[in-house]
A and B are shown apart, each in its own frame.
Chain A
Amino acid sequence: DAKTTQPNSMESNEEEPVHLPCNHSTISGTDYIHWYRQLPSQGPEYVIHGLTSNVNNRMASLAIAEDRKSSTLILHRATLRDAAVYYCLLNSGGYQKVTFGTGTKLQVIP
C-alpha cells in the first residue's frame, strides 16, 4: 500500500512556479523521500530525493517539512514539457520494495 498521499491533479500556467504537495505522515526515520515523474507513453524518470534538508537540482527543488510528514516538489518555471504524472514515494533502503501511489497529474496551460 502506498505510504504517501497526493492530489490527483493540478494545473499551472506556463512559466509560473508549481508546488506539488505530498503527505507522508507515517514516514520513518530511515525513509528517503523520492520524486519521479512519468511523461505520456514513457517510463518514469527520477526527479529528486532528500532525507531531511531541502534539496535543489537542475530539474526542481524539494522542500521537506521540519517534522518530515510532508514535502513539496517545486518546479520553478513550468514548461509544457513538465506536463506529466508526478509520484512521491518513500524508500527506506534494504530489501524493501518501493510503492508508487497514483501520483499527481500536472497540466501546464500555455
Chain B
Amino acid sequence: NAGVMQNPRHLVRRRGQEARLRCSPMKGHSHVYWYRQLPEEGLKFMVYLQKENIIDESGMPKERFSAEFPKEGPSILRIQQVVRGDSAAYFCASSPGIAGEETQYFGPGTRLLVL
C-alpha cells in the first residue's frame, strides 16, 4: 500500500505566479489535511477536506489560497499570485476515518520557494 504522495517535492515560483500542490492520499483514505510549516516552526493547520467537500478551512488565508479534493484524482492546494511569505513546506496528510483514535499519515511535503 503506497503511502501519501505529494508532488512536486520542490517548487520554485516567482512572485505573482501560481503554485499548485498535489496530494494523493493513501488508498482507501477519504480524509485529507493540509498543513504549512515555516522554517524552524511547527505545523500549522490549513484545511481539512473530505471527498468533494471542504470540512474546515479555518487555517487557510481568505485570499489567494484554495483547496479541493475532487471525486477523482488528487487533492490540490492552489496558491495564486504567490508572495515571498508563502515560501514554506506544505504537508498533506490523510486518514481513513474521523474517530479520535485514527492517525494521520503524512506525505513527504512540497517545499515552495518564492523568488
Contact = CB atoms under 8 A, between A and B. Distances in A.
Interface of A: 30-32, 34, 36, 38, 42-46, 49, 51, 85, 87, 91-95, 97-103
Interface string B36-48: 0000011111001
Interface size class of B (residues with CB under 8 A): 20 to 34
Nearest to A99: B45
Mostly, the B contact residues are loop
A91 B42 contact: no
A19 B113 CA distance: 36
Interface stretch (B12-20, B61-69, B72-80, B97-105): B97-105
A44 B98 contact: no
A97 B106 contact: no
Mostly, the A contact residues are loop
Contact of B106 (A45, A51, A95): A45
Nearest to B53: A95
Contact of A46 (B56, B103, B107): B103
Name the 3 nearest CB pairs between A and B, nearest first.
A93-B100, A43-B106, A32-B100
Contacts of B45: 97-100
A51 B4 CA distance: 26
B101 A32 contact: yes
